[in-house]
Amino acid sequence: MTYCVGLKINKGLVFMSDTRTNAGVDNVSTFRKMRCWTKADERVMVLLSAGNLATTQAVVSLLDERTKAPDERTLSMLETPSMYQAARLVGDTVKEVIRQSAPVGQNADAFGASFVLGGQIRGMEPRLFLIYPEGNFIEAGEDTPFFQIGETKYGKPILVRAYDPAMSFEETIKLLLVSFDSTLKSNLSVGLPLDLLFYERDSFRIGYEKRIDQDDAYFRTISDGWSSALKTAFKSLPDFSR
C-alpha cells in the first residue's frame, strides 16, 4: 500500500507521501509517489499517487510525455486552462491506462490507482482534487479540506481532530508527520522515507521540498515526542469509575 495526504490551508497547500511499494511482503521497493509540474510564475501542480505501481507510473509517464511534446493535440499538464481541466486530464489518463491493461483478462480492480492533485494557476484559487480509479474526481471544500489515499485509516483520527485552516505551514507539517507516524507504526506497507512539499498561495513556485528519512532529527523528535505526549494526554483523562 501507500499513504499520501494533500491538505489545503488558508496559506496554501501541503503534500506528504511515503515511498514504500510492495507486491507481497517479500517484494518491497522504494518509489517516489509525488510528482510536480511547474511553469515559473504561472502554475504549480503536485500529483500524489496510490495503487498499482504500473498504472501510476504509466499515468505519470503519459502526462509527462504530453508535457514534453507540446505539439500534440491533447492538452498537457502545463497547458490546461484550469486546475479542473488538469484533474480531468489525470482522470482521462487513468481511464486510458486501465482500459489498456484490462483486456488481458485480469481483474480490472487489480490495476486500480487513486490520485490527489493540487495546485494553482495564475488568476485562479489554489485547488485540491481526489481522482478515483474510475477517472472521475471530487474537489476539497471547506468541510473536507484534505484528501488521503492508500492506507488512510490509522492516520485519520488526528487529522480530523487537529486540522485548522488557519494553521501555519510549520504546524501543518507537524500534523502530517504525526498522522504518518501513526500509520508507519501500525502498518508495514507504509514506509520511510517520506516526501514533503508545500506550496504557498499566489507564489507560483514550490515553497519547500524535502525528503524525510529515518535519521531526520525533526521526524525523530515528533515520533518519540508524540508517543510520550499521547501517554501524557491519556494519563490526563480521569480513569473509569463504577
Contact positions vs its own copies (CB under 8 A): 153-154, 156-158, 160-162, 168-171, 173-175, 177-178, 182, 185-187, 208, 218, 221-222, 225-227, 229-234, 236-242
Handedness of CA 218, 220, 226, 232 (dihedral sign): negative
Least CB distance to its own copies at residue 231 (A): 6
Please choose, from the candidates 4, 2, 5, 7, the residue with its C-alpha nearest in 3D space to the C-alpha of residue 126.
7
Between the alpha carbon of residue 9 and those of residues 140, 163, 223, 241, the distances in Å are: 11, 9, 23, 41
Please choose, from the candidates 187, 164, 163, 179, the residue with its C-alpha nearest in 3D space to the C-alpha of residue 219.
179
Return the number of the residue (69 or 233) whose C-beta is nearest its own copies. 233
Buried b (16+ CB within 10 A) or exposed e, 189-204: bbbbbbbbbbbbeeeb
Amino acid type, 202: D
Cα 148 from Cα 68, distance rounded (Å): 29
Return the number of the residue (51 or 91) whose C-beta is nearest its own copies. 51
Return the number of the residue (98 or 178) whose C-beta is nearest its own copies. 178
Least CB distance to its own copies at residue 92 (A): 30
Q: What's the burial of 18, exposed, middle or buried (CB within 10 Å: 0-12/13-18/19+)? A: buried
Return the number of the residue (215 or 234) whose C-beta is nearest its own copies. 234
Least CB distance to its own copies at residue 11 (A): 13
Least CB distance to its own copies at residue 138 (A): 18
Return the number of the residue (32 or 185) whose C-beta is nearest its own copies. 185
Least CB distance to its own copies at residue 63 (A): 30
Cα 54 from Cα 31, distance rounded (Å): 11
